[in-house]
Structure 1
Amino acid sequence: MNASNTIDFRTLNPRAQDLIRQRAFRQRHGDNSRLTAEEEVIIQEGLGRSEAILPETVIREAKEASVSIAKNYKLLKETLERYEDAIRKRWVKKKRDVRKEILLDAWGKYRPMAVCHRPDLQAFRRASGGRGARGSVTDSVDVYMWPHVNLEDLMDTTTILKFLNSRGRHAPALFAKMDLESMQLGRQTEALKLQHLPEFHWIDLESEDPQIYGRVKKLSKCTDKVENAVESLWVLKAQRRILKFLVKVCRGILHDKDIDGSALMEAPIQPEPPALTATVGEFSTALDLNREIPYLVPRKLDLSRLRSLIKSRLAEWEDYACAMREDPGFFAEVASDWSEHASERVLGLGNRKHPDLANPARITNFWDRTLSSAINEPYENLSVWTIINTQLDELLKLHNDFVESQTEEVDDDHPYLEHVGRIRFLLEVRLLDKLQRELRFIFPSSPPIRHMYQSTSMLELRSDMPKDDALIWLVDQLRPNESMCPAEIIVAELNRLIGMDKNQKDRITPMVARFVADLGLGYELRSQLFMLCPSMFDGYNLYENRRIMDWAKEKLLPLYDLKMIMGHNHAGDKFLKLGEAGNPSKLYYPVDKRPTKDNVESMQNAERNLCHVWLRFDAHMATHLKPATNAYFLGLFPKKEVQRTPDWVEPHGPAPKNKVNEVTQQMQQASFADENTGPGGSRFIAPEPKTKIKTRGQGIQPDSALAAEAQDAQNQKSRFTVKKKPKQVFSTLFYQPTHTQQPGEVPWTDFVQALAAIGFLPEKLYGSVWRFAVSRTFAEKVGVESAINFHEPHPQVKLPFRIARRYGRRLNKTYGLDGSSFVLES
Structure 2
Amino acid sequence: MLAAGGGGGVDGGPGDLGSFDHEALIQQLNPAVHVATPAEVRKEAHARSRNVFASYETLRAILFRHELTIQKRWSKKTRQQRQKVLLDTWPDMPASHRPDFEAFRRTNRAQGLSVSGHLFKSHYTWPHINQEDLLKPKTLPLLLNARGRNPPVSFAAADFESMHLGLVSKNLSPVFLNCYTMALHGARDASEYGKLVAWDDHPDAFDWMVSRKQYLPGEGLVVLEAQEKLLQFLVDCCSQILAEIPAGDLTSSTFPVQPEPRLKTEKESTGFDSLAAMAAEAPYRVPAKLDMKRIESMLGSRLVAAEDHQWALREDPAYFVEQLIEIKEHRQELIKDTLGASHPTLKIIDQKPLWARVCGTIAFEAYLQLESFLELHRQAQILRLLHDKYKDTISPTEDLPKEMMNAILKFRHYLTQTVKGLLSQLRESLVASPPWRSYFVRQPPPDSTTTRIVVMSKPGANMSPIEKQLLPLLRLLWEDGQDLFFIGLPLVVDELGRLLEIEPRAQDLLSARIASIIGDLAIVSQCIAQFNLFLPWARGYDNALVDREEGIKKEFAERTKPWGAVMAALNERNLAQVVKLGTPSDKRFAYPVEKRRTKQNVEALRQAEQNLDEFWAAVDRVVYTRCGQLAGPTQRRVMRRTPEWVEPATTTANSGKEAVLDPELADLYKPLSTIYIGESAGNKTPAVTSTTKSKTKTQGSLQPTDSLPANVPNQEPHEEPEAPVSVHVDGRSFKVFRTLFFNPAVTSSPGEISWTDFLHAMTSTGLFMAEKMYGSVWQFERLEGDQSRIQFHEPHPRGKIRFTTARRYGRRLNRAFGWTGDMFVLKGK
Task: Report TM bin, short chain.
Answer: 0.7 to 0.9
Q: Aligned partner of 1:230: which letter? A: G
Structure 1 residues 595 and 57, CA gap change in structure 2 (3 angstroms): farther
Paired residue for 1:807, among 806, 809, 819? Answer: 809
Q: Aligned partner of 1:755: which letter? A: M
Structure 1 residues 184 and 670, CA gap change in structure 2 (3 angstroms): closer
Quote the residue 1:764 is aligned against. 772
Query: Aligned-residue CA RMSD in angstroms?
Result: 3.6
**1:50 CA displacement:** 5.3
- Mapped to 2, the partners of 1:547 and 1:580 lie a distance apart of 44
Structure 1 residues 146 and 646, CA gap change in structure 2 (3 angstroms): farther
- Mapped to 2, the partners of 1:368 and 1:313 lie a distance apart of 28
The 10-residue stretch of structure 1 (420-429 or 310-319) with the greater mean CA deviation from structure 2 = 420-429
Q: Deviations over 1:121-157 (max 9, x none)?
A: 1111122379xxxxxx995221111111111110011
Paired residue for 2:206, among 223, 245, 252? Answer: 223
The alignment partner of 2:120 has SS state of coil
**1:313 CA displacement:** 0.8
Quote the residue 1:436 is aligned against. 423
The 10-residue stretch of structure 1 (397-406 or 185-194) with the greater mean CA deviation from structure 2 = 397-406
Quote the residue 1:475 is aligned against. 474
**1:592 CA displacement:** 3.6
1:566 aligns with 2:559: no
- Mapped to 2, the partners of 1:141 and 1:206 lie a distance apart of 28
Q: Aligned partner of 1:200: which letter? A: Y
Quote the residue 1:553 is aligned against. 557
**1:192 CA displacement:** 1.0
Quote the residue 1:706 is aligned against. none
**1:450 CA displacement:** 1.4
The alignment partner of 1:590 has SS state of coil
Paired residue for 1:177, among 142, 153, 157? Answer: 157
Judge conservation of contact 2:359–2:579 (CA < 8 Å) in 1. Answer: yes
TM-score under structure 2 length normalisation: 0.82
**1:362 CA displacement:** 6.7
**1:470 CA displacement:** 1.8
Judge conservation of contact 2:620–2:675 (CA < 8 Å) in 1. Answer: no
Quote the residue 2:295 is aligned against. 306
Judge conservation of contact 1:310–1:389 (CA < 8 Å) in 2. Answer: yes
Quote the residue 1:252 is aligned against. 240
Quote the residue 1:293 is aligned against. 282
- Mapped to 2, the partners of 1:40 and 1:368 lie a distance apart of 61
- Mapped to 1, the partners of 2:821 and 2:750 lie a distance apart of 14
Structure 1 residues 285 and 590, CA gap change in structure 2 (3 angstroms): same
Judge conservation of contact 2:89–2:233 (CA < 8 Å) in 1. Answer: yes
The alignment partner of 1:294 has SS state of helix
Q: Deviations over 1:443-484 (max 9, x none)?
A: 221111111222236332223136871211111112224323
Judge conservation of contact 2:266–2:272 (CA < 8 Å) in 1. Answer: no
- Mapped to 1, the partners of 2:21 and 2:235 lie a distance apart of 46
The 10-residue stretch of structure 1 (236-245 or 210-219) with the greater mean CA deviation from structure 2 = 210-219
The alignment partner of 1:763 has SS state of strand
Paired residue for 2:739, among 722, 726, 732? Answer: 732
The 10-residue stretch of structure 1 (408-417 or 551-560) with the greater mean CA deviation from structure 2 = 408-417
- Mapped to 2, the partners of 1:719 and 1:773 lie a distance apart of 20
Judge conservation of contact 1:670–1:681 (CA < 8 Å) in 2. Answer: no
Q: Aligned partner of 1:507: which letter? A: L
- Mapped to 2, the partners of 1:687 and 1:791 lie a distance apart of 35
- Mapped to 2, the partners of 1:612 and 1:679 lie a distance apart of 11
- Mapped to 2, the partners of 1:397 and 1:251 lie a distance apart of 47
Q: Aligned partner of 2:475: which letter? A: D
Give matches, 1:124-163, under 5 Å.
124-128=104-108, 139-163=119-143
- Mapped to 1, the partners of 2:272 and 2:501 lie a distance apart of 14
Q: Aligned partner of 1:300: which letter? A: K
Quote the residue 1:32 is aligned against. none
Q: Aligned partner of 1:517: which letter? A: G
Quote the residue 2:94 is aligned against. 114
The alignment partner of 2:778 has SS state of strand
Q: Aligned partner of 2:46: which letter? A: K
- Mapped to 1, the partners of 2:27 and 2:643 lie a distance apart of 70
Give matches, 1:316-355, under 5 Å.
316-355=305-344
**1:375 CA displacement:** 1.1
Judge conservation of contact 2:185–2:397 (CA < 8 Å) in 1. Answer: no
Paired residue for 1:92, among 75, 79, 82? Answer: 75
Judge conservation of contact 2:324–2:362 (CA < 8 Å) in 1. Answer: yes
- Mapped to 2, the partners of 1:408 and 1:211 lie a distance apart of 19
Paired residue for 1:500, among 493, 497, 502? Answer: 502
Judge conservation of contact 1:670–1:682 (CA < 8 Å) in 2. Answer: no
1:718 aligns with 2:698: no
**1:674 CA displacement:** 9.9
Structure 1 residues 729 and 655, CA gap change in structure 2 (3 angstroms): closer
- Mapped to 1, the partners of 2:661 and 2:733 lie a distance apart of 38
Judge conservation of contact 1:671–1:686 (CA < 8 Å) in 2. Answer: no
The alignment partner of 2:40 has SS state of helix
Structure 1 residues 624 and 727, CA gap change in structure 2 (3 angstroms): same
Quote the residue 1:591 is aligned against. 593
Structure 1 residues 578 and 248, CA gap change in structure 2 (3 angstroms): farther
Structure 1 residues 464 and 54, CA gap change in structure 2 (3 angstroms): farther
1:639 aligns with 2:637: yes
The alignment partner of 2:351 has SS state of helix
- Mapped to 2, the partners of 1:303 and 1:480 lie a distance apart of 27
The 10-residue stretch of structure 1 (344-353 or 181-190) with the greater mean CA deviation from structure 2 = 344-353
Q: Aligned partner of 1:768: which letter? A: S
1:360 aligns with 2:348: yes
**1:59 CA displacement:** 1.9
For these two proteins, the number of residue pairs brought into alignment is 745
The alignment partner of 1:421 has SS state of helix
**1:67 CA displacement:** 1.2
- Mapped to 2, the partners of 1:616 and 1:803 lie a distance apart of 27
- Mapped to 2, the partners of 1:556 and 1:687 lie a distance apart of 39
Quote the residue 1:73 is aligned against. 56
Q: Aligned partner of 1:766: which letter? A: Y
Q: Deviations over 1:554-578 (max 9, x none)?
A: 221110211221144xxxx545554
- Mapped to 2, the partners of 1:116 and 1:670 lie a distance apart of 52
Quote the residue 1:462 is aligned against. 458
The alignment partner of 2:640 has SS state of coil
Judge conservation of contact 2:409–2:545 (CA < 8 Å) in 1. Answer: no
Judge conservation of contact 2:750–2:803 (CA < 8 Å) in 1. Answer: yes
- Mapped to 2, the partners of 1:460 and 1:346 lie a distance apart of 10
Give matches, 1:24-43, under 5 Å.
none
1:283 aligns with 2:266: no
The alignment partner of 2:544 has SS state of coil
The alignment partner of 1:641 has SS state of strand
- Mapped to 1, the partners of 2:567 and 2:584 lie a distance apart of 23
- Mapped to 2, the partners of 1:314 and 1:300 lie a distance apart of 24
Paired residue for 2:88, among 83, 89, 105? Answer: 105
Quote the residue 1:33 is aligned against. none
- Mapped to 1, the partners of 2:386 and 2:165 lie a distance apart of 35
Q: Aligned partner of 1:579: which letter? A: V
Quote the residue 1:625 is aligned against. 627
Give matches, 1:348-427, under 5 Å.
348-357=337-346, 359-361=347-349, 363-403=351-391, 406=394, 414-427=402-415
Judge conservation of contact 1:318–1:638 (CA < 8 Å) in 2. Answer: no
- Mapped to 2, the partners of 1:159 and 1:771 lie a distance apart of 25
Q: Aligned partner of 1:331: which letter? A: F
- Mapped to 1, the partners of 2:401 and 2:552 lie a distance apart of 9
TM-score under structure 1 length normalisation: 0.83
The alignment partner of 1:350 has SS state of coil
Structure 1 residues 146 and 712, CA gap change in structure 2 (3 angstroms): closer
Q: Deviations over 1:782-816 (max 9, x none)?
A: xx431000010011111001001100010000001
Judge conservation of contact 2:65–2:251 (CA < 8 Å) in 1. Answer: no
Q: Deviations over 1:163-220 (max 9, x none)?
A: 1111111111111111111111111211111442133232324323233222222222
Judge conservation of contact 2:156–2:223 (CA < 8 Å) in 1. Answer: yes
Structure 1 residues 120 and 420, CA gap change in structure 2 (3 angstroms): same
Structure 1 residues 271 and 129, CA gap change in structure 2 (3 angstroms): closer
The 10-residue stretch of structure 1 (419-428 or 220-229) with the greater mean CA deviation from structure 2 = 220-229
